[in-house]
Amino acid sequence: MEYRELGRKVNKIRKDKGFTAEGLAEICDVSTATIRHVEAGRRSLSIAFLLKLCNTLGVSPDYLLYEHLTYERYPDKHALYNRLDDLSPKQLEMLDEMISSVLEHTE
């Protein structure tokens, strides 16, 4: 996954909303370095962190991820995101762990 565009969006929204990197980090309960790495496109995001970031910035996950949801199996870019609504909290946690594992082993 290419994180530069996602990071660019986070940076722009953060500034538009008047947040400093430090302030956003504090609200999201992460380090300022984490926010800077996300904005630079050098860090992957867990589902939990993505949702916390989106809630704090007032945007939807599909806005940040839209360009990344282009899987052949899901030609409609929103289809994969919409399927997340059908998952239980435990299933979302399992999916987050699987995604993190895949990212760890492919980067």
pTM of the model: 0.61
Burial of 5 (0-12, 13-18, 19+ CB in 10 A): middle
Residuewise pLDDT in 10s, the chain (107 residues): 578 888 989 999 999 999 999 999 999 999 999 999 999 999 888 899 999 999 999 888 878 877 654 444 445 555 666 677 778 889 888 888 888 887 777 65
Q: 38, exposed or middle or buried, with CB in 10 Å at 0-12, 13-18, 19+?
A: buried
Please state which architecture CATH assigns to domain 4-106: Orthogonal Bundle (1.10)
Residue ranges per structural domain of the chain: 4-106
